[in-house]
Amino acid sequence: MARELVAGGWVVAAAGRREEALRGTADGLPDEAVAVIPTDVTRPEAVDALFAAAGARSGRVDLLFDNAGTGASAVALDELTYEQWRAVVDVNLNGAFLCAQAAFRTMRAQRPQGGRIIGNGSISAHAPRPRSAAYTATEHAVTGRTKSPSLDGRPYRIACGQIDIGNAATGMTERMAAGTPQADGRLMAEPLMDVTDVARTVAHMASLPLEANVQFATVMATTMPYIGRG
């Protein structure tokens, strides 16, 4: 997504925990088009520093792609420890909130006023996979975190939308080709789609004037088990 945005003329701040991985994303892109900013989104002071650095580099913040996420071990609800639950909530809910809040604050204060926030809710914002209570709960919460600032942002020209992604081919989804547990207990290989198709969708959402907004979009491998999951 960072590469697709750069190709569309955006100046990108790539944020995440691991600097080495961020530099892999930035590899081959013009230095002036991408800044690598290691950030732990569970820490408010780190998120504030991220937005201060991004604003100082570009003069303003016009887009947040709120994409931080993690999961817990696939266990039954009664086997999920509080520490595992809290770790997922800290990233997927609290981290997403802190980034959205910082973006909202920046976009409201800058002149010209406004900007766009796009959250990643995942297919699990609609339908759970087996043994995924923490991840499913937080991804459902992303939908509420999208709707509320969509309303609150109207006076300030802040548009908020959500993209729900299913089975994009990345390192995290390689296991799906070998087999993923289904609701009926079967282990089934699931189809994947090119992640570039997701990136193009995000770039389209980002390219719209602030008078237009994609509120919710679902991009998924066409035949993955989502409609009728379970």
> Do 160 and 53 contact (CB within 8 A), yes or no?
no
Give the 3-state secondary structure of residue 129.
coil
Helix or strand run (H / E) with residue 23 = helix 19-26
In this structure, the number of other CB atoms found within 10 A of the CB of residue 144 comes to 11
Determine the Cα–Cα distance for residues 158 and 22; give it in Å rounded to an integer: 27
CA dihedral for 96, 30, 204, 150, sign (positive or negative) = positive
Q: Which residues are catalytic?
A: 135
Determine the Cα–Cα distance for residues 64 and 115; give it in Å rounded to an integer: 8
The terminus-to-terminus CA distance of the chain in angstroms comes to: 30
Q: Are strands 158-166 and 168-169 parallel, antiparallel or unpaired?
A: unpaired
* Dihedral angle of Cα 42, 43, 49, 51, to the nearest 10 degrees: 30
> Do 1 and 200 contact (CB within 8 A), yes or no?
no
Which residues lie closer than 8 Å to 49 by C-beta, 6 or more apart? 39
Q: How many helices (H) and strands (E) does the chain have?
A: 7, 10
